[in-house]
Structures are given as C-alpha cells and as structure tokens.
Amino acid sequence: MNKSYLFRGITLLLILCLLCGSLVACKDEPIDPSTATKLSFKSASSYEYLKGLDGQAVTINGYLATSSPADGSFIFLMNLPFQSCPFCIPNTSQLSNTVEVYPQKNQKFEYTTQAVKVVGRLEVAPSEDKPFTDDYGYQFNFKIVDATYTILKDEDLTEDLALWQKIASSGVVDEMYQMYEYLNFLCFWNTYSINSYVDSNGEVQPGYYLYASDALNFLVKDGAQFNYGYKDGYFEGIIADIEAVDPNAFEDLEQNVRDAKALAEWALKELTDGNYTSEYKYVEKFETYDYIYTITNGAALEAQMNTLYTAFSDWIGSWEL
C-alpha cells in the first residue's frame, strides 16, 4: 500500500474520532441560555409548536411544585407559586400547565420555593396519541431534559407578578380546577366507572360504568363526590372569591365561570330530561356484559367543555414570570 494513502487515511480517521469526541462532550456541557428558545406555558400547550422545537435548547421560567420528587430526579415546574401538586386535565392523568424537567446526567435538583429559570433541551413525544409516562403514571407530550436552573432575580420578574401571586395564593385556581372536575363529570358521566368490589356477602362484584341513576346520586346525594357543584350559588361563590382578590383584574376569568355555569345547567338538564340511550353489551374492561350509556348530545357537550377548559388553561399559561 502507498504510504501517503495510509498516512492520509490514518489522519482522516483521527480527525473523525476527534470530531465525534467533541460532539459527545458538547451534549453533556451546559446549554448556553442565549441560544435557547424562550417557552411560555401558553405556547407549550400547542403540540405542533413544540414539535417544531424538538431536540432544541429551550428556556422557561416557573416554580417547583412541592410534590416534586424528594430525590431530585426531576421536578414539576408550574407558573403558579404555592402549588403542591401538578394539575391534570379532569378525569385523566394528562398533565396540564405543568412541565416535567429532568437534570443533566448524574445530577440532582435541589428544591427551592423561589422562581427559577430553567434551561435545557426539549424532548417531544412522537405523537399526541403516544405521550410520555412517568413513574407516577402522569402522561405528558413533552419534557425538558439535560436541564439546569438558576434562581430568578427580582428585576427579572414581570411587573404583574404580585397580582399573579395574590390570586395563586388565594385558592381560586384550585377552586377553578375543582369546578372543571364537576363540569367534566356532568358532560362525561357515562365514561366514569366503579371498580370491582367485595359485597356484604364477601363476593367479588365486577366493576361497571355509571348508570344514569348513579350519576344523579353522585350529584344530589348528601356527601356525594360532586354534590358541591350541584348546590345553588356554587358558581356565584367562585366569582365572589375572584373579585375578592381584585374586583376588576380578572373579568376574563369571571366570564369563564359564567360560561361554565351555563354549560353545567345544560348538561344537567340533559341528564334529568333523560336525553341518553343505553345498550346491553360486552364490556372488555370489566369482562362482563352490562348496560353502556350514550349521552344524546354528548359530542356538543364535549366540544363546549373543551372550548372552556382550553380558555381557562390558556388564561393560566398567559401569566409569565
């Protein structure tokens, strides 16, 4: 073999090895915040937008939920201070207004109550139908990996943060999520189920999807799970709590509650008027035959529910640190 060709071949191989080594090293190095795309919680609600940033450096500001794993393996990042748990879309394990953030390899996160700036690499699920799932069973369409965070300085925070902290600490946001749990039940009661149980004779009874009579009991029976929303003045009470924080600053949120009340009244009337059908068929989930109910105007109720919840979710996401 010609020695010059051999020399050039070895040289090229060495260059390639050096390049590969530098690429691997770069992946473990901290990401330069100046090159990262600024995410907001509102923009993070759009899967299509996030998919276009898959694999890229991103940054986002927020607070650590107190239920973030104690071992520091990852954090639940939210744009609400004082929140203990991540939020989910009602009756699902799908995270809402919550971002899971994972540290760099062999690193752990320390908990802090202060606002933080996260910098990391965006990782997006292959499709909305195939979300990520963590060890707690939460599902989410994206996460931030290889991340670090720094404590935000007072001058880095937005001017309206004081107002945001005021309503976040008032409990109103938690009330709103509870309201949507109630609204979700009214619009989708036929999809709720009871797990298998042992009866008074010690026999195991199979689980089942709620009957219409069951749904009513959940609403009107004292102490029932959704009895709180059925009572007169429920929605007006939420609006009063909002206005107690500030009588003028949250008109869009108050309108969302009024629209939710109208939907609740409509959905409840569908139930009490008997606007549903049932079919006796095999239920694979419970491996038994049973009656399965269909709400006659279920598609219209679902569309309105999604519209209102998206507006509420966008309202939360619009508050930036």
Cα–Cα–Cα angle for 301, 306, 312, nearest 5°?
Answer: 130
Whether residue 146 contacts residue 120, with contact meaning beta carbons closer than 8 Å, is answered with yes
Same domain, 213 and 152: no
Please indicate, yes or no, if residue 204 is contained in any of the structural domains: yes
Report the domain count for the chain: 2
Please indicate, yes or no, if residue 27 is contained in any of the structural domains: no
Q: What is the CA radius of gyration of the chain?
A: 25
Chosen domain end from 127, 156, 185: 156
Which residue range(s) make up the domain with 38? 33-156
Same domain, 289 and 171: yes
Instruction: Check residue 208 and give left, alpha or beta (phi > 0: left; psi -120 to 50: alpha).
Output: beta
Chosen domain end from 156, 174, 207: 156
Q: Which helix (H) or strand (E) holds 133?
A: strand 132-133
Angstrom distance (rounded) from CA 91 to CA 190: 12
Same domain, 43 and 118: yes
Same domain, 152 and 230: no
pTM for this structure? 0.78
Amino acid (one-letter) located at 50: L
Residue 135 three-state SS:
coil
- For residue 39, give every residue at least 6 positions away whose Cβ sits within 8 Å of its Cβ, in sequence order, or none: 53, 58, 59, 60, 122
Q: What is the pLDDT of residue 29?
A: 61
Angstrom distance (rounded) from CA 7 to CA 311: 66
Phi (first) and psi of residue 43, to 5 degrees? -65, -25
Same domain, 227 and 150: no
Chosen domain end from 107, 134, 156: 156
What does the block give as tokens for 106? 């062999």
Please indicate, yes or no, if residue 18 is contained in any of the structural domains: no
Angstrom distance (rounded) from CA 120 to CA 148: 6
Same domain, 146 and 179: no
Q: What is the CATH number of the domain that holds 118?
A: 2.40.50.870
pLDDT in tens, the chain (321 residues): 444 443 344 344 443 443 343 333 344 566 777 889 999 888 888 899 999 999 999 999 999 988 899 899 999 998 887 777 787 888 788 888 899 999 999 999 999 988 899 999 999 999 999 999 998 899 999 999 999 999 988 777 776 777 888 888 888 999 999 999 999 999 999 999 999 888 888 888 899 999 999 999 999 999 999 999 999 999 999 999 999 999 999 999 999 999 999 999 999 999 999 999 999 999 999 999 999 999 999 999 999 999 999 999 889 888 877
DSSP designation for 106: T
Place of tokens 């292959």: 126
Please indicate, yes or no, if residue 14 is contained in any of the structural domains: no
CA 73 to chain centre: 19
